[in-house]
Structure 1
Amino acid sequence: MTKQVDVIVIGGGPAGTAMASGLKAQGKSVLIVENDLWGGTCPNRGCDPKKILLSAVEARRHAQNLAGHGLRGVPTIDWPALMATKRGYTDQIPSGTLNGLKAQKIDTMHGQAYFRADGELTVDGEVVAATDYVIATGQRPSILPITGHEYFATSTDFLDLDTMPSRVTFVGGGYVGFELATIARSAGAEVHLIHHNQRPLKAFDPALVKALMQNLTQQGVTFDLDVDLNKITQQADGLHLTDDHGFDLTTDLVVCSAGRVPNVDHLGLANVGVSYGRHGVQVNDHLQTANPHIYAIGDVSDTPVPKLTPLAGYEARYLVGELTQAGAPISYPVVPTEVYAEPKLAQVGMTATQAAKSDKYQVHELDMTHWFTYYRLQTPQALAKVIVDQQSGLVVGASFLSEIADELINYVALLIDKQVTLAGLQKLVLAYPTPASDLQYLY
């Protein structure tokens, strides 16, 4: 007998579990399907384990900055112990997620979901049915189709290394490449980052990206720009990475950090009229596909916002409302984005490049290195670009490069979303001295 529910959610990550829990709370019958690890990428092999590894990197960096300023010596990273700490968290995620779903009396299935030509959904061949379907299958690391691509490791492999190799190379200058290069270098590896042009992290302010690269270069990361890698060969002394113009680098581990691709190719979407491309499943502003009973949320959906875990939850909450009581199109708040390198790079709202196209905005370029907040930590460099609407006096965007950029960017996101002017901010009394008490100097 075919199992029938109100909604089937395909994908047991942050988007899918939030969706299932929200629908269940509204009285809907729900089945959630996962074919890999319950909990999805973020807690198992993404944001969370990365941040655990970065905790040791940050502590080491703080001690390094304060060496000679009240501290003696710089600690070394004990990679096996750090990895054991990470696994102490990640090992319990799949069972914890599944148990949480069962505690809510949400039906679960583990297997591959597939829409057949007749439109029916199967999970490992078993037919299941619903009124509506939600695709929340996320993304996976892409692998460049070059000769020897089988030698590529992925971010998943790196975040579960038993030991840190002596030489590690990252191919692709996006978030993942910069963040994992920071970790590998701090753990003692000789690190190269290869990028195919002169503009890594192209979504961020060019001047701040350049400053970040200079910082990482001083820490020992080597950037190989304008290298269009096309071959990996294994030889006695390691893996040789080459292009057509004389580049030849030998490494012990090569990680493909050239973006991610949507997990949709095994779902049979063409059989049910659902279109997708390299940016994900195509949806309208109600997160609905061309098939009116199939929706897509989270990293797998082609939406005009970054692929971030908080947005997965945001879209899930919206769609729960949409499936229980249809409403307005989805509207996104300003979304902060960050690169967890050392120092960190973060931005939100309008960029300085965008602001330069109009005389309506003023760009404040700030060197905060000698502000007390950074002096007490002996931070080597702290830079900011803040965009202010001259007529309203409101902050509409900002970019930060510092060791606390991730904290500052959230404060500024609140200033933008709540439309706080300088006068409004100064009506508050914030604890001093803290990064929050510095906010008034950004206007």
Structure 2
Amino acid sequence: MVVGDVTTGTDVLVIGAGPAGYVAAIRAGQLDLDVTLVEKDAYGGTCLNYGCIPSKALITATDIAHDARNAEQMGIHADPAIDLSGMVSWKDDVVDQLTGGVEKLCKANGVNLMEGTATFTDENTVRISHDGDGQGSETLEFEHAIVATGSSPIEIPNFSYGDEPVLNSRQALSLDSVPDSLVVVGAGYIGMELASVFAKLGTDVTVIEMLDEMLPGYDDDLKRPVKQHATDLGIEFEFGYTAAEWSEREDGSGIRVVADPVDGADVAADGGAAAGEAEAEGEGEEPASLDLDAEKVLVAVGRRPVSDTLDLDAAGVDIDDNGFIETDSRARTSVDHIYAVGDVAGEPMLAHKGSMEGQVAAEVIAGEPSAIDYQAMPAVVFTDPEIATVGMTETDAADAGFDTAVGKFPFQASGRALTTGESDGFVKIVAEENEGYVLGASIVGPEASELVAELGLAIELGATLEDVASTVHTHPTLSESVMEAAENALGHAIHTLNR
């Protein structure tokens, strides 16, 4: 029996309960608005259930095992046994605790929770379809709507995620056994993070990347120690190639992944084995395709916005050629009372960026003078070592017309870094030369994801190099490196040579 259609109403409809959506809903509830939050899958969205949190849980677990296995210099000799199913079970427990917390917080802030898939029927109404036989659908009228439907993994031709050996990041994080070998397609942050995880679990990993570098968009000096660590883990790179197809080996020993050279790519630039062979065949000859053996293949070539299920045309909401919803500095779409936040609203696809946008959207709806400011938006790659950036790079600052003062402090000069056994990398600060205002920072090294927050705050508050340098930092800590980098930019660093 199908339940008859019911029409209800709400002040604010939020579609999607990821970090952008649930934050928007809670903030709107705090502002005394009547809020309905619709989620079709799981509270917390992709980030909490299948992305940010589970990946960091496995990164932490594999780091512990790897560090214990490689601590001979500290006088520790160990060979930990890896139980991947137990590791995944622990990861799932962490996720369950956090998703349950999101649901409780929403209810405590007066948010009405509704399970289902929302589709616009006009600019003030959605139809919500409930999963399951006999669940039916209902109509919801709203005064304001916030779209926070997030993103999903991009699928490439001939590599369907429905095929057992082909994995997206969500599937890779739920494996119950460690694959002997893995081909990773894509050397962006997701590909590199998971490549490191499986390499530390003992998997033979090969990374295919169509560009001639890993982690595009990050400066070479930040990527250099990450690539060196990846190589030390045994990860092999094949740059200038794109995955073409896969097939099962006739002997049942695994799969065969074929990668074709990208037109015009300098595949020999990074010294890959196949590239070197192609180069030896004769200058000017086309490089050969790669034939790689693997047990699994992980496709991590990026994510696309989830906007095609909403019927945005019915509401009059504009999207760009890539499916992202176009918004202004207050998160408003082309329809003034409909907002979009998070991944579906465009790059950068970062959970904390979505949360900030969600808060802004809720506050704008409530009549507050709130607006989005990306000036101090940090970005982090949880590789080994970590990379973190915030604000402007040296190039950005120069392009913007600033004369800059740059300070740098290597972790090899940090007593605390040396005592952790992780001393590769550095902290770099970029400031405006005359007044010393901090414009940006880049960090590669231990706990970069934590250290960058101080520099983001400096940018947000308009702090100067002198402010950072004169703030007493506890000794011995990694955070002293931030102070030392600021002192280096001022020309009076104590524990490194001044630039």
Whether the TM-score (by the shorter chain) exceeds 0.5 is yes
Shift of 1:105: 3.8
CA contact (8 A) 1:386 1:398 kept: yes
Task: Decide which of 362, 380, 386 is 1:344's aligned counterpart.
Answer: 386
Indicate the residue corresponding to 2:434 in structure 1. Answer: 391
> Given the alignment of the two structures, is residue 294 of structure 1 paired with residue 306 of structure 2, yes or no?
no
Identity %: 28
Indicate the residue corresponding to 2:328 in structure 1. Answer: 284
**Structure 1 residues 436 and 97, CA gap change in structure 2 (3 angstroms):** closer
> Given the alignment of the two structures, is residue 44 of structure 1 paired with residue 49 of structure 2, yes or no?
yes
CA contact (8 A) 2:397 2:439 kept: no
Task: Decide which of 195, 205, 209 is 2:209's aligned counterpart.
Answer: 195
Map residues 324-339 of structure 1 onto 2, 5 A cutoff.
324-327=366-369, 329-339=371-381
Indicate the residue corresponding to 1:414 in structure 2. Answer: 457
Map residues 34-433 of structure 1 onto 2, 5 A cutoff.
34-63=39-68, 66-116=71-121, 120-124=125-129, 125-146=137-158, 150-151=162-163, 152-235=166-249, 236-244=252-260, 245-277=288-320, 278=322, 280-302=324-346, 306-327=348-369, 329-355=371-397, 357=399, 360-379=403-422, 381-433=424-476
Shift of 1:95: 4.8
1:43 and 1:150 mapped to 2: Cα distance? 23
Shift of 1:138: 0.8
User: 2:142 aligns to what SS in structure 1?
Assistant: strand
Shift of 1:65: 5.5
CA contact (8 A) 1:122 1:128 kept: yes
Once the two structures are superposed, residues 315-361 of structure 1 have per-residue CA deviations (whole angstroms, 9 ceiling, x without a partner) of: 12211210111535432341111110111111111113334556711
Residue ranges of structure 1 left out of the alignment (5+ in a row): none
Q: CA-atom RMSD, angstroms?
A: 2.3
Once the two structures are superposed, residues 181-202 of structure 1 have per-residue CA deviations (whole angstroms, 9 ceiling, x without a partner) of: 1111111111111100102211
1:434 and 1:224 mapped to 2: Cα distance? 38
Shift of 1:415: 2.5
CA contact (8 A) 1:33 1:108 kept: yes
Greater CA radius of gyration, 1 or 2?
2
> Which deviates more from structure 2 when the two are superposed, residues 349-358 or residues 186-195?
349-358
1:25 and 1:147 mapped to 2: Cα distance? 45
Indicate the residue corresponding to 2:492 in structure 1. Answer: none
> Which deviates more from structure 2 when the two are superposed, residues 71-80 or residues 268-277?
71-80
Q: TM-score normalised to the size of structure 1? A: 0.92
The number of residue pairs the alignment matches comes to 441
**Structure 1 residues 147 and 140, CA gap change in structure 2 (3 angstroms):** closer
CA contact (8 A) 2:209 2:241 kept: yes
Indicate the residue corresponding to 1:11 in structure 2. Answer: 16
User: 2:74 aligns to what SS in structure 1?
Assistant: coil
Q: TM-score normalised to the size of structure 2? A: 0.82
1:148 and 1:427 mapped to 2: Cα distance? 55
1:414 and 1:401 mapped to 2: Cα distance? 18
CA contact (8 A) 2:380 2:387 kept: yes
- Structure 2: which amino acid aligns with 1:237? S
User: 1:24 aligns to what SS in structure 2?
Assistant: helix
User: 1:32 aligns to what SS in structure 2?
Assistant: strand
